[in-house]
Amino acid sequence: MAKYPTELKYSNEHEWVKKTDDVYTIGITDYAAEQLGDIVHLELPQPGDEFSIGEAFGVVESVKSVSDAYMPVAGRIVEVNEVVMNNPGVVNDDPYAEGWIIKISVEDETEIDNLMTAEAYEAFVVEES
Amino acid sequence: MSELKRTPLYDEHKKLNGRIVPFAGWEMPVQYSGVIDEHMAVRKNVGLFDVSHMGEFEITGDKALDYLNRVTTNNVAKLEDGGCQYTLLCYENGTVVDDLILSRVAKNHYIAIVNAANLEKDFAWLEKQNSEGATLKNVSDDYALIAVQGPKSPALVAKVFNQDFTSLKYYNCTEASIGDANVKVFRTGYTGEDGFELMVEAKHACTLWQQLLVVGADYGVKPCGLGARDTLRLEVAYSLYGHEINSEINALEANLGWVVKLQKGDFIGREALQSIKDQGVTRKIVGFEMAEAGIGRDGCPVFVGDKQIGYVTSGTHAPLLKKAVGIALIDVNYKDVGTEILIDIRGKKKKAVVQKTPFYNRCA
């Protein structure tokens, strides 16, 4: 079994993207969550806000540190996960399902093709750590 | 940059999958199972901390008392054998060289436990001030220091040493032995819980650590890192050198007047602190609680309206209280509990309220 879910694509800022029809769901990887430690606060955008690729869309704050979260692809926010806003620890506990962070719509459907596969991301993490 | 040092327990941290980070010139575990999990273990059960990076000095000889009473702010003459006191080394202007715990092991025999980051500075300062001719020895490399903290720490320490420490009161110390090891047992800590700090010869440190973990399994013991150490001390608003105290904040601004004994006779910083006391401080360390989402952290500017009145010295998410709290150095006019302040977090001013400290009190 692969270390990271194979149905997702990954950015080098440790975000994952899942495409379901026209909606792209974005979260952070379990590697990122573990590095941050216990997540206690998220600052997230409003539905309708637009961001370009690589732009910081929010802030993920753990007990010890503060990190920006970056757009793996450009898009417009359609939904923010209220569950993680109210209970940020869910991002640590279940980063690929309950712990998703935002859902977006995109203009350029080819951007996701430039992201890493699970296998490539695993190699990337090994190299970075 | 010189090479990072490792404590005698470094291999134990690796074995326990502790995440190692550089801290004050040392490679130290910042967390094992997670800051919140470790924090709660200390509040509910018991946690183990490697604090061997801290410095230990021995001060001996018949000049030790006179000397220590002149270089520290608390009254050393009040210490009896086996007594410990929280105290400060101050500069002439009343700002702080370091905070420390001074213990009288026996007559003319004292041990000072100081911050890792200040160890060399402190020892140089102490040597320079030693006109009395007390004997000073830096024994930091000879010993490990293990903190055992939490409501179940008395039971755990009693079991491991096969000795009852009920009569050892808070802020007292004694000696105990386990196998070949002689251990100095201090009933002190930095967590706001009951607890012990065990000063053990470096060569016996791993054995003692392992025994505490094995025996501690029945008490829910967890190894804890620097992350939890910081959240625990912040819930009880204990000062941390480099944050609430430093060479630019005087002891009275830092709310440490309770360890400054102006009547005890002359000591370094007395004149300045007396004058600061007479005139009143212009700024003060206060606790605050966030009233809006966000965490005001070290360095965030503090405002009332458009006027900056100070800055945050420490801030965190408080795991037991489940809210964001912090400490700030602000204009004394705004120090009263209940005062509404604004904390600039990454360019956004978020509401906070001045709060009574400690935020958490185990006796309450």
A66–B317 CB contact, under 8 Å: no
CATH topology assigned to domain A9-108? OB fold (Dihydrolipoamide Acetyltransferase, E2P) (2.40.50)
Taking the CA of residue A117 and the nearest CA in chain B, the distance in Å comes to 27
Chain A interface includes B231 (CB < 8 A): yes
**For position B2, what pLDDT does the model report?**
67
Place of tokens 């007390």: B134
Check residue B10 and give left, alpha or beta (phi > 0: left; psi -120 to 50: alpha). alpha
Q: Whole-number mean pLDDT of chain B? A: 97
Query: Is the pLDDT reported for residue B1 higher than 80?
Result: no
Longest dimension (CA), chain B: 63
| Distance of alpha carbon A40 from the chain centroid | 16
Taking the CA of residue A72 and the nearest CA in chain B, the distance in Å comes to 23
CB-nearest to B231 from A59, A63, A89 is: A63
Separation between Cα atoms, residue B126 and residue B120, nearest integer Å = 10
Residue B364: pLDDT band with limits 50, 70, 90:
low
A63–B30 CB contact, under 8 Å: no
- Residue in chain B closest to A86 (alpha carbons) equals B293
A64–B294 CB contact, under 8 Å: no
Q: In this predicted model, what pLDDT tens digit does every residue of B209-250 receive, in sequence order?
A: 999 999 999 999 999 999 999 999 999 999 999 999 999 999
Average pLDDT over residues A100-108: 96
Average pLDDT over residues B157-172: 97
Q: Where are the domains of chain A?
A: 9-108
CATH 3.40.47.40 holds for B10-52+141-235:
no
Beta partners for residue B222, in sequence order: B47
Six token digits for residue A30: 């379990």
**For position A129, what pLDDT does the model report?**
75
- Residue in chain B closest to A40 (alpha carbons) equals B317
CB B18 within 8 A of CB B204: no
Separation between Cα atoms, residue B364 and residue B347, nearest integer Å = 37
Q: What is the pTM of this model?
A: 0.93
CATH topology assigned to domain B282-355? Elongation Factor Tu (Ef-tu); domain 3 (2.40.30)
Average pLDDT over residues B124-144: 98
Whether the complex's predicted ipTM surpasses the cut of 0.90 = no
Query: Is the pLDDT reported for residue B151 higher than 60?
Result: yes
Taking the CA of residue A112 and the nearest CA in chain B, the distance in Å comes to 30
Q: Where are the domains of chain B?
A: 10-52+141-235, 282-355
Query: Is the pLDDT reported for residue B165 higher than 90?
Result: yes
Average pLDDT over residues B144-173: 97
Which residues have a Cβ under 8 Å from the Cβ of A42 and sit 6 or more positions away?
A: A58, A59, A60, A61, A84, A85, A88, A91, A101
Query: Is the pLDDT reported for residue A128 higher than 90?
Result: no
- Give which of A34, A38, A42, A67 to mutate to test B binding, by max B Cβ within 10 Å: A38
- Which residues in chain A (6-65) have CB-CB distances under 8 A to chain B? 37-38, 40-41, 43, 59, 61-64
- Residue in chain B closest to A41 (alpha carbons) equals B294
**For position B363, what pLDDT does the model report?**
80
**For position B267, what pLDDT does the model report?**
98
B295–A43 CB contact, under 8 Å: no
Q: CA torsion, points A78, A84, A90, A91, in degrees to nearest 10?
A: 60
Enumerate the residues of chain A whose CB falls inside 8 A of the CB of residue B321. Answer: none
Q: In this predicted model, what pLDDT tens digit does every residue of B311-361 receive, in sequence order?
A: 999 999 999 999 999 999 999 999 999 999 999 999 999 999 999 999 999
- Residue in chain A closest to B318 (alpha carbons) equals A63
Separation between Cα atoms, residue A40 and residue B227, nearest integer Å = 14
Query: Is the pLDDT reported for residue A64 higher than 90?
Result: no
* pLDDT above 70 coverage of chain A, percent: 98
* pLDDT above 90 coverage of chain B, percent: 99
